[in-house]
Amino acid sequence: MTGAGRLPRLLESPRPAHLVLRDGTVFAGWAAGAAAVVEGEVVFNTSMSGYQEMLTDPSYHGQILTLTTAHVGQVGVNAADAESDRIWARALVVQDLDLEPSSWRSEAGAEAWLAAQGLAIGWGFDTRAIVRHVRTAGAVPGLLATDGSPPPALLERAARARGTDGRDLTREVACSAPADWREGPWRSPSHPAAAAAGPQPRVAVVDYGVKRSILRRLVAEGLAVRVVPPATPAAELLGGGYAGVLLSNGPGDPAAVAGAAAMIGELVGRLPILGICMGCQLLGLALGGRTVKLPFGHHGGNHPVRELSTGRVLITSQNHNYVVQESSLPREVEVTHINLTDGTLEGLALAAAAISAVQYHPEAGPGPNDSLGVFQTFAERCRRRVS
């Protein structure tokens, strides 16, 4: 806690910060972390926790992340919860930044970790007003200035700010060489994960910006995981002894990922395929569909999705700005899940080819675990292929 009579260090010599949007709207607050002017597409996430997982999720590359939860930093950070080895969000905007962590799993304070990573942080902002504006205007590009630059000097630059449309950002976040992944989900020291029984089918994860939680869930299902770069040729995947292929999440515009749809098309009907988020969009393109951009995207851990085959409603974790347009898909492609908030596509399948995909994140990280069955089904398909 802060000593009596002493201001928190962020208030001892506060620096002004401004969020300046391309449409000329300006929001004011205070600065922490790096002193910079950062450009990105402004999005908001409605999750109540999980800021470390969000910031290290490669899908946030190119975006300024605004969190709707009132307090950020209260549980600190730790190595086990990181979804990659660095922060990918361009900047962070919050209402309140807590300085003292209060979790037994914390290894460091969030503010110190964010500053060490060189992230520009805006705090003390009216995040409710930002969210209301983005819901009306869409995911608007803009600038977060934490270096003291006055808003009038930033308006012209903000007017030229780029969003994610037409940009392939996957190559900037993906691996450049294949690598095996063996780590399973985090368990407490007193409750270690059980060893997987039986054969371990080998699967390839095409890395468009994969989260570690996805890799951990595959290991938990008894699969031997090999992460490969996005430019890996289909022939290499077909000849690599793999029992299945997972197409991962990732940032940017799926229609701009050159060569991905063609490569995936060569795999259709020859290996079981599971697509997640960006992987769902790329699979939709490979099957003849189109992708469109949502007004302000789906970002949060509380999105209701109906599983059409059972009528069951899943509460899901989501992080995407683009979606497969249902009406563009060929007749033989089955729509399996629908978002109950806006009716958009949340899942598709081509059962005859052992193909399925979900737009949401079944691994959560952060979020609910309603959808872990997605990994179980994929693992069963892979095991049947090698049995």
HEC string for 195-245: CCCCCCCEEEEECCCCCHHHHHHHHHCCCEEEEECCCCCHHHHHCCCCCEE
- 261-276 exposure pattern, b = at least 16 Cβ within 10 A, e = fewer: bebbeebbeebbbbbb
Residues 18, 346, 363, 382: which is the catalytic one? 363
Catalytic-labelled residue, pool 61, 83, 361, 382: 361
Catalytic choice (221, 277, 299, 346) = 277
| CA atoms in the 13 A half-sphere facing the CB of 266 | 12
Residue type, 209: G
**361 included as an active-site residue:** yes
At 321, list the tokens: 């700005």
Name 274's Cβ contacts closer than 8 Å, sequence gap at least 6: 244, 245, 246, 247, 356, 357, 374, 375, 378
Active site residues per annotation: 277, 361, 363
